[in-house]
A = this chain, B = another copy of it.
Amino acid sequence: MAAERYNLIVLGGGPGGYTAALTAARHKARVALVEAQAIGGTCLHWGCIPVKSLLHSAPTLDSPTPGGDWGTHWKASQKRMREQVSALMQGLTKTLKQAGVALVEGKGYVASPNSVRVGGALLETDAIILATGSKPATIPAAGLGDESSSLENWVVGNSNDFLSLDDLPKSLLIVGAGAIGCEFADLMKRYGVEVCLAEMLPQILPHFDMQIAQTLSRSFKKRGIEVRTGTGLNGITPDRSGVLATFQDGSSFSTDRVLVAVGRKPRIEDEVIAGVNIEISDGAVVVNEHFQTSVPNLFAVGDMIGGAYLLAHAAEAQGEHAALTALGMTTSGKSRSTMLIPACVYTEPEVATVGLSRDQAKAKGLECVEGKAYYLANGRAVATEQAEGVAKVVAQSKTGQVIGVHICGAFATELIAAATLAMNLNGTVADMAGTVWAHPTCSEVLKQAALSCLDQLK
């Protein structure tokens, strides 16, 4: 069988991989996308999309007390979720095919810097992009293991396990209060599950602005979610109804099930990269500003290169940049260290952030001001009973340039786009305040926060 020759072969069909492939195809390159499982990756099958679907389908906050039929409701929601994922996957597959991307089913192995083996075929290529993603991380605590989720009657699981959960537990301990932990806490509480959300670090959403995290934490507590911060899990032991979790501060929690949501780690399989000698550090592939590994023409993007946020849209942006670089094209987009990556949490209220918090800016020696605005004074927020929340804008003192925006409140995840775009355009708080924001919209909180910055800059 004659070897095929591509300009680019991408390993992994998640957001990083399929965006790289589409970008290359858009520029008329001959490109193959190799995926062993389903196109769409963790984002479409195990992450962003399924969780958003379940959150959307879940009982609303003001629903009556959960009755006996929440289990049926849950199963219907899971079914709808699977249908939506399937529809999106079909759409994505069609888009890739229409763009001219060769979809290769199977597991790809990098045979050399210029060839990839899939099954019995050897595909030749000018360049390779690795985008093999990540898997749920684990923590060293007694009673928790990587393999627990494979038990038939599992008690401890990760987010993957919980998506296909058959029966709703009565109680649930969530270990780790990052985005995934917070979203599952919100989701399960809506189904009447008793939820304890535990975070080793001093605040939930440890990477986020403190006040923003506190706003969500307060809301969670009001809704009856137990929030424990600043204490790590010691371990779990079986008890009458499930397990007893004990914490480093001596407290404990008796629960049906445990969700370990302590982040994700790069998925790097030795045999996949055995044919090349690429640098790995701290379990992640080392890349430069343009996502090139230590091997010429071999790139890596997405979760497998690590970083503070393992996010689908970061992978997409990296995939696009890497594809253009691999094709020898210059890109107008920013490179690794200058890319502005927003981060979102789809709880109620929603949370979104981009750029630096005031504390982070100060730690970098930047003189700055922070303007705030509360949703309570926002017409749409009040009229739609979503008046809980705050928006913060951080700007450089000398120039007024916006260097961070942080929101906890209605539509936060959609509003962060305005902030990211303005920051990419080097916008100032005067630009934000001088823009006409449609009334009544929640987006007006950003104008008010910018005005508050302006008042401090006078």
Contact = CB atoms under 8 A, between A and B. Distances in A.
Interface of A: 15, 26, 43-44, 48-50, 52-53, 56, 81, 84, 87-88, 91, 95, 311-314, 316-317, 332-334, 339-344, 352, 376-377, 379-380, 382-385, 411, 413-418, 420-422, 424-427, 430-432, 434-443, 446, 455
Contacts of A333: 434
Contact of A380 (B52, B376, B383, B426): B52
Contacts of A411: 411, 414
B91 A376 contact: yes
Contact of A436 (B339, B379, B385): B339
Nearest to A418: B418
Nearest to A343: B438
Contacts of A415: 414, 417
Given A413-B441, A438-B352, A443-B414, A44 B313 contact: no
The 9 closest A-B pairs by CB, nearest first: A417-B443, A418-B418, A313-B439, A53-B383, A425-B425, A52-B383, A56-B384, A333-B434, A312-B439
A414 B53 CA distance: 21
B414 A441 contact: yes
Contacts of A437: 313, 342, 417, 420
A436 to B, nearest CB: 5
22 contacts: A44-B379, A48-B379, A48-B439, A50-B383, A52-B440, A53-B383, A311-B438, A313-B437, A317-B436, A332-B434, A340-B436, A341-B436, A342-B436, A344-B438, A344-B441, A411-B414, A417-B443, A420-B437, A421-B421, A421-B427, A421-B432, A425-B431
A416 B436 contact: no
